[in-house]
Amino acid sequence: MTYKLTVIIPTYNAENYLLEAVNSIKEQSIGFENIELILVDDNSSDNTKVILKELSQAHENIQSIFLDGNSGTASQPRNIGIENASSPYIMFLDNDDIYYPKMCEEMCNAINDNDVDVVSCRYDINGKIPNSFLDNFNPEKYDFKGKYDNENNIIYLDSVKDFPNIMTLGHPTMIWTKIFRKSLILENDIQFPKGDLYEDVYFCAKSYLNAKGIIILNGFLGYGYQLRTEGEDKSTCQIFSKSMLQKQLRGFLKIMDLLKNETKYDTLKSELIIDMTKIYMYADIEKDCQNKFLNIMKPYYKNYKIGTRVNTASFAFNLVINVFIEIFAMNNSLAIFIKNLFLKIRK
């Protein structure tokens, strides 16, 4: 069977929301029969494996792959999905999110008709958007603001260097708002760093750097991102533990190394520094670990561009973080005192 595109979903303990994600693919306007769906389970301990087995038995275009052990992040499952993909184009969907009905059709048409390597679209958070709104989507009337609100509805780029602003945090470097030409990934050995976070930012950044042709569908809303802030299955970006901090830090350092000679993308570097600092501020970790973190981050703090803002935090928190970074660049003891005081106040 020849498919128009492959959708890869990494799964882990997703029994409560996986079927909603899969159903959103089944309802795609391009026709479910044109989609190869690869589900790669990271050794779930709930009923996710049972659901995957039932799905692959019921549909010939669904392939379920099971890992023997848990790899700790979505990187390895996604890499395995890429290895098993048979179509010319690859898309990613998180196991708790959804595609809106025209997502695959619009993305596939754009990348195929324009002969580019990457196409990106817009997304919303925790929304259930009616088709009538999607069919008449107007970025100017949409409450959820994006990076490109003042740009054209379709942005055509020969290279990422033509529009460096796409190399920033949020939608621009999230893999799930995009379709990738598989040959771009394979020919440039683009993989998700195993066991690290910021893995999607790294993957997108390396894809952008190597892409011959990029399109941003600024006037198309295709992805529904579900942010879970409570409970045991909260979103990864809402978990502030020592383990998460370490995984983020490893991913951060890989991205910094990838972009070390790329001055055009200093905004992304500064945003990552803010985001790392936010995670550090929220994480309840011992003094020794804090010192190690601050020593690693010190050279980045010293080169940080004051005034950078990220959308993952409020304006007030961005302002506070910018002040803290200036202090953190100078003195570990003062940094640790401020961080611990912040945690006490927050509790």
Q: Above 70 in pLDDT, residue 191?
A: yes
Are 160 and 109 part of one and the same domain?
yes
* 173 plus 124 within the same structural domain: yes
Give the mean pLDDT of the chain: 90
**pLDDT score recorded for residue 153:** 87
Domain that holds residue 272: 239-346
The 10s digit of each residue's pLDDT in 205-257 is 999 999 999 999 998 999 999 875 455 554 455 556 788 999 999 999 999 99
Out of 193, 225, 257, pick the residue that ends a domain: 225
Verify that 220 and 341 share a domain, yes or no. no
Residue whose C-alpha is closest to residue 170's, from 105, 227, 231? 227
**62, 179: one domain:** yes
pTM over 0.85: yes
10 has a pLDDT exceeding 50: yes
The beta strands (E) that lie in 126-235 are given as: 154-157, 178-181, 214-225
Average pLDDT over every residue of 118-142: 76
255-267 average pLDDT score? 93
pLDDT at 125: 85
pLDDT of residue 234: 46
For 92, list phi and psi in degrees, rounded to 5: -125, 140
Tokens of 239: 């978990």
Q: Which two tokens stand for residue 163?
A: 């529009």
Q: Coil, strand or helix: which one is 106?
A: helix
The CATH number that applies at residue 166 is 3.90.550.10
Is residue 232 domain-resident? no
- pLDDT tens track for 67-83: 999 999 999 999 999 99
pLDDT above 90 covers a percentage of the chain that reads: 69
- Average of per-residue pLDDT across 6-19: 97
- Range with top average pLDDT, 55-64, 127-136, 160-169, 216-225: 55-64
Domain count, the chain: 2
Residue 234 lies in a domain: no
Q: Which residue has better confidence, 43 or 1? A: 43
The SS3 of residue 157 is: strand
> Quick one: CA dihedral 315, 321, 322, 324, positive or negative?
positive
Q: Are residues 114 and 193 in the same domain?
A: yes
Distance CA 346, CA 315 (A): 17
Do 214 and 95 belong together in one domain? yes
